[in-house]
């Protein structure tokens, strides 16, 4: 009990130090230096640092460098975003370029992002994606991997989408990275290949993050990831795009609005 009280007491002292004297991204003292400075055992200092990582105040792998965490962007993801995106499809490019649903989620304009990148490649569809898109094994898809980082040193936000290659090939611009970020988003891309979106389904699951996700997205210990598989259907009922969106649970609020028809309509 005494040891537990000691590392928690040290964690509280260090938390005060972080809040009052440190800036996001600052390097944090090594465990050995903390132990000497505060007159505690290295194990006590290590447990205190781990506690601060769990609280989201510090980042870094065990045994490696530790730094003051850059707070993640808090976002609110609403299902009504899809109608907002569809409404933009037929608007002039200037309006589509100035308003994006991802920016509405976070309140941060794309131009203010520290880093924004889209990687485009043509790959055989992963087995689960091929099945969902009703493609034969080995069929090609256009894979679009989007990453954004709001501040230097922050974790990234990420999404990966898949469109059947035969469909995407109707518009060569979809393979041109210089056209990114695409004004109007995925629904406008589909519009350029003759598809009107009829409905979108979000399939949600939750798991613990992978090691890669922990590092890339700067996810604290014990924080799960809400996994959104976004399935886009045309007005004829065909699945035209699959997107996988991992959302660390410490930085997102999901809001789903369901309009109900009145009994006496």
Per-residue pLDDT band for 186 (boundaries 50, 70, 90) equals: very high
Higher pLDDT, 232 or 107: 232
Q: For the chain, state the CA radius of gyration.
A: 22
What was the pLDDT predicted at 2?
44
Query: What's the residue count for the chain?
Result: 265
The pairing of strands 252-255 and 75-78 is: parallel
pTM here is 0.91
As a whole number, the mean pLDDT across the chain is 94
Exposure string of 133-169, with b = 16+ CB inside 10 Å and e = fewer, is: bebeeeebbbbbebbbbbbeebbbbbbbbbbbbebbe
SS3 136: coil
The token pair at 1 is 């009990």
Query: In this predicted structure, which of 48-52, 180-184, 188-192 has the lowest mean pLDDT?
Result: 180-184
Residues 5 and 246: their CA atoms lie apart, in Å, by 36
The token pair at 96 is 């589509």
Residues 32 and 42: their CA atoms lie apart, in Å, by 6
Which CATH superfamily does the domain covering 75-255 fall into?
Answer: Chorismate lyase-like (3.40.1410.10)
CATH class as words, domain 2-68: mainly alpha
The token pair at 255 is 């809001």
Does 27 have pLDDT greater than 50?
yes
Does 1 have pLDDT greater than 60?
no
Higher pLDDT, 242 or 101: 242
Does 12 have pLDDT greater than 80?
yes
Going from N- to C-terminal start, the domains of the chain cover: 2-68, 75-255
């Amino acid at each position: 009990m005494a040891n537990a009280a000691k590392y928690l007491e040290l964690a509280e002292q260090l938390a005060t130090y972080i809040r009052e004297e440190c800036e996001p991204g600052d390097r944090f003292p090594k465990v050995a230096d903390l132990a000497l400075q505060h007159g505690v055992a290295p194990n006590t200092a290590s447990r205190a640092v781990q506690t601060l990582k769990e609280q989201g105040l510090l980042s870094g792998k065990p045994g490696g460098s530790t730094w003051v965490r850059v707070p993640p962007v808090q976002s609110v993801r609403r299902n009504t975003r899809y109608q907002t995106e569809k409404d933009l499809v037929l608007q002039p490019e200037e309006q589509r370029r100035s308003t994006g649903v991802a920016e509405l989620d976070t309140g941060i304009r794309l131009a203010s992002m520290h880093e924004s990148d889209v990687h485009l490649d043509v790959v055989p569809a992963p087995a689960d994606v091929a099945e969902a898109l009703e493609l034969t094994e080995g069929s090609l898809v256009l894979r679009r991997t989007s990453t954004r980082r709001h501040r230097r040193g922050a974790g990234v936000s990420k999404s990966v989408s898949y469109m059947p290659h035969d469909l995407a090939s109707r518009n060569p611009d979809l393979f041109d990275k210089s056209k990114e970020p695409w004004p109007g988003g995925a629904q406008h891309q589909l519009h350029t290949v003759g598809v009107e979106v009829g409905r979108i389904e979000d399939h949600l699951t939750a798991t613990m993050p992978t090691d890669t996700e922990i590092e890339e997205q700067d996810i604290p210990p014990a924080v799960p990831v809400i996994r959104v598989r976004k399935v886009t259907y045309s007005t004829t009922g065909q699945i035209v795009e699959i997107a996988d969106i991992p959302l660390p649970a410490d930085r997102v609020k999901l809001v789903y609005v369901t309009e109900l028809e009145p009994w006496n309509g």
